[in-house]
Amino acid sequence: MKIEKKEVEHIARLARLKLNEEEKERFGRQLGQILKYIEKLNELNTEGVEPALHIVPLQNIMRKDEVKDSLPVKDALANAPATKGKYFKVPRIIE
């Protein structure tokens, strides 16, 4: 099983990754192997089994609408590769 180059390019674009030709070939092969491995699950009969969306049986975990302290601005910006004033700075977004 191998994922077509076109599909690899599509997935890479969605993930904002720039891949070279060799990578497209390699990742296509690896993605195919991963899917094939996961496909093993199809061997099980899951008729009448509810999808397990959560592993712990919790529900209605909620909080009150009460304001808590936010981070100081300098801490919020601490991990950013680029900042300007009190803003995160990113490459220009072209619509």
Partner 1 sequence: MYQTVIGLEVHAELSLDTKIFCGCSTKFGQEPNSQTCPICLGLPGALPVLNEEAVKYIIKIGLALGCRILPEARFDRKNYYYPDLPKNYQISQNYLPFAVDGYLELPPSQKKGTPIKVGIDNVHLEEDTGKNIHSESGGREGYSLVDFNRAGIPLVEIVTRPDMHSLEDTESFMVSLRNILLYLGVSNCKMEEGALRFEASVSIRPDEASSLNARVEIKNLNSFKSVLRSLQYEIERQRRLLSGGEIVSGETRLWDEKEGKTLTMRVKESSPDYRYFPEPDLPPVVIKPQWIKTIRAAMPELPAERLRRFVKKYHLPPYDAIILTSSKSLADFYEEVVEGFPDGKHVSNWIMGEVLEKLKERKIGIEESSLTPASLSELLNLIKCGTISGKMAREVFAEMFATGKGAGEIVKERGLAQISDTRKIKETIDLILKKNPAAISDFQTGKKKVIAYLTGQVMKETKGAANPQLVNELLQEALQQQ
Q: Would you tell me which residues interact with partner 1 (CB under 8 A)?
A: 14-16, 53-54, 56, 58-71, 73, 76-77, 79, 82, 84-95
- Shortest gap between Cβ of 4 and partner 1 (angstroms)? 16
Round the CA-based radius of gyration of the chain to a whole number and report it.
22
Asked whether the beta carbons of 24 and 9 are under 8 A apart, the reply is yes
Is the four-CA dihedral 77, 82, 86, 90 of positive or negative sign? negative
Residue 22 or 61: the one with the smaller Cβ distance to partner 1 is 61
- Shortest gap between Cβ of 31 and partner 1 (angstroms)? 14
Residue 36 or 84: the one with the smaller Cβ distance to partner 1 is 84
- Shortest gap between Cβ of 20 and partner 1 (angstroms)? 20
The partner residues of 84 in beta bridges, in order of sequence, read 87
d(CA 83, CA 91) in angstroms, rounded, equals 11
